[in-house]
Amino acid sequence: MDVTQGANPAKETLMGAQTVPYRGEAHASAAALTPDEVIALRRTHFFPCTQHFYQRPPVLISGSMQKVTDGEGREYTDFFAGVSVVATGHCNPAIAEATAQQVRKLQHTTTIYLTEPSALLAQRLAKLLDYPRVFFCNSGSEANEGALVLARRHTKRKGFISLTQSLHGRTSLTTSVTGLSMWRTDPFPDPDVYFIPRPYEYGMDPQQAAQISLDALEQTLREHGDRIAAMIVEPIQGNGGMIVMPDGYLARAKALLESYGVLMIADEIQTGFGRTGQLLASVQLGVKPDIVTMAKALGGGIPIGAFAAAEEVAASLNVPSASTFGGNPVSAVTALAVLDYIESEQLTERAARLGAAFKLGLERMKTYYPQIVSEVRGMGLMLGAELRADDPAVGAALTDRVLEEMKDRGFLVGKNGVFRNVLAFQPPIVIDTADIENMLEALDAVLGGIDQDRIKALDAEGAGEGEAQ
């Protein structure tokens, strides 16, 4: 239907032509598109970098807390939460109502004008996280980029230290400090980045791996310390395969950095806001970084990013800088509602409690299927199970197969890791024990259905096409 047909001629002239189609109907009936039609549109109009999970992906059209529903009415329990974002549940009524009210009241002004929500959110975060200053932006990449620039301004040095197999974003500078090669998109990364080995190696004692990493840190600081502004680190490497920084590692790294006047930036974009058992995983792992970055779960699905710092560091961001959407009233009100919900429902405690039981369940899978599950890792409701660490190509093919079969049984599981062979479990924290038990039962059946011949066949097939950040 073309509503410009027969419309006011002056309006037609302004539009220049009668070819602008009416889009409302198409949006309202989006569920009418089949998965193949959505794939065809994406293949035609998205950039070729865009990939998706599954050989037979569903089109997801609605969500409610830990459940999502596809265009054919099939319901799935979500164990990935849109990569750690929807921690407080899909379309959580308590949060969605606050967002909707703000959408109807005032949507946008920028920080040039005074509004209440962003000021209240800054105050709330300062109190909760113990960082007095906050800068709002729109995404994780932007938060990390801002934090890196802040570190450069504060130290008047250019270089950075980062860990191998890390992921920090999609902008030019954040891809430069990203260790995972598949996410280093910019062909001309910033040359002043020093990568040190992450404190993990399959089969190695965590303290030994920590020592190797710290030795490399010390050497890098000795050789280049006077040119380095900050070290950026994820307390748990999410995309790197759910690698938790070993006990004491972050505190020892911080002490070394301090002795060279180098800042520590904790990238809490995936770990932040309750998932690991505390609001910030860095606190849980025993360190107070100079700058923390956050995004994802803070907005519960509404885009928001932020970095926070101590007074003295924040003082260095003293030239005009503003983000058009940063601190937008809709995202700020949503984030306040997210924080209210985390607090009132005690989601941090819930993540710790459910996560401990969940992890035991995954460990059980490892004992049942030692030829498939190599290692179970993570903290709280940020867990991973690596498949076939001895042969990651087979592990990756198995991971894709497990994801597909779990989806067919009604469970959305994620994947990550250097070789994309780690099952990732980051469900909405509102998930309950029965959901976890049902998922583990399905996982048991799926893993139990994989025999050695099948592993060989998968090896011959190679990895599937689905990928996602």
Where on the chain is the footprint of ligand PLP (CB under 6 A)?
83, 139-141, 144, 167-170, 234, 238-239, 267, 269-270, 295, 469
Secondary structure letter of residue 245 according to DSSP: P
User: Could you tell me the smallest distance in angstroms from the CB atom of residue 84 to ligand PLP?
Assistant: 7
Residue among 242 and 455 whose Cβ is closer to ligand PLP: 242
Closest separation between CB of residue 71 and ligand PLP, Å?
Answer: 26
CB of 164 to ligand PLP, least distance (A): 14
Residue nearest to ligand PLP (CB): 140
Q: Which one, of 407, 370, 406, 361, lies nearest residue 390 by Cα?
A: 370
What is the amino acid identity at position 272?
G
- Exposed (0-12), middle (13-18) or buried (19+): which is 61, by Cβ within 10 Å? middle
3-class SS shares of the chain: helix, strand, coil, % to 5: 45, 15, 40
Amino acid at 160: F
| Cα gap 391→421, rounded to integer Å | 10
For residue 234, the minimal CB distance to ligand PLP (Å) is 5
By C-beta, is 64 or 469 nearer to ligand PLP?
Answer: 469
Comparing CA positions, the residue from 285, 258, 268, 27 lying closest to residue 131 is: 268
The residues pairing with 293 across neighbouring beta strands, listed in sequence order, are 267, 307
Minimum distance, C-beta of residue 271 to ligand PLP, in the bound complex (Å)? 8
Q: Which is nearer to ligand PLP, 281 or 365 (CB)?
A: 281
Cα–Cα distance measured from residue 66 to residue 73, given in angstroms and rounded to the nearest whole number: 16
* The two three-digit tokens of residue 27, written as one number: 């949006």
Nearer to ligand PLP, 167 or 458 (CB): 167
Query: Checking DSSP bridges between strand 382-387 and strand 422-425, what pairing results, if any?
Result: antiparallel
User: Which residue number, 242 or 387, has a Cβ lying nearer to ligand PLP?
Assistant: 242
- Residue closer to ligand PLP, measured from CB, 424 or 446: 424
